[in-house]
């Protein structure tokens, strides 16, 4: 039980050819609600804005669970204390890798189809292997009734 704030940024790979990774990290940080991951009691103000180029070639998602859902994300300091009064069950799931890509993109659909093909082939191979093992003859029963004795090792 608790609260969760989930932020995702997707950007097109063309930005890596035009810019560098530190610039992209800076743009992602600008989208993070101000002071969210800063535990310092001092507040910072910035005049920097997200680049139009980055906005054009990226997608952004921010979800809030627990507490007061009606709180505007820019007022996250007011949201955090409401989690104690209205906690939400938080669960974590293992999701397919294609879910990391933006919805309704060709790459996501292609990776989803490839994942389905891979899982189908793995299931088919597993069933074939199990069927092959099931048709193998059982090993013969041991002929001796006497338990096998352990040999001792003599050192010279």
Instruction: Tell me the per-residue pLDDT of 32-90, one tens digit each, with 9 for 90 and over.
Output: 765 555 545 555 555 668 888 888 888 887 776 666 665 555 666 677 777 777 766 66
Mean pLDDT of the residues in the chain: 77
Burial 66-90 (b: 16+ CB within 10 A, else e): bbbeeeeeeebeebbebbeeeeeee
The residue among 30, 29, 21 whose CA lies nearest residue 50 is 30
- Quote the pLDDT of residue 151: 67
Higher pLDDT, 43 or 147: 147
What is the pTM assigned to this prediction? 0.41
* Residue 24, burial from CB neighbour count under 10 angstroms (0-12, 13-18, 19+): middle
In this predicted structure, what is the pLDDT of residue 47? 60
């Amino acid at each position: 039980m608790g609260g969760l704030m989930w932020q995702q940024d997707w950007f097109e790979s063309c930005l890596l050819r035009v810019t560098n990774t530190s610039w992209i990290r800076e743009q992602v940080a600008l989208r993070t609600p101000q002071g969210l991951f800063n535990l310092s009691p001092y507040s910072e103000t910035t005049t920097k804005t997200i680049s139009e180029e980055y906005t054009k070639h990226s997608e952004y998602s921010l979800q809030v669970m627990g507490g007061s859902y009606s709180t505007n994300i820019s007022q996250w300091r007011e949201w955090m204390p409401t989690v104690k009064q209205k906690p939400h069950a938080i669960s974590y799931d293992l999701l397919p890798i294609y879910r990391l890509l933006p919805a309704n993109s060709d790459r996501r659909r292609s990776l989803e189809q490839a994942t389905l093909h891979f899982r189908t082939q793995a299931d088919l191979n597993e069933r074939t292997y199990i069927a092959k093992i099931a048709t193998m003859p059982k090993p013969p029963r041991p002929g001796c009734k006497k338990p096998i004795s352990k040999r001792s090792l003599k050192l010279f």
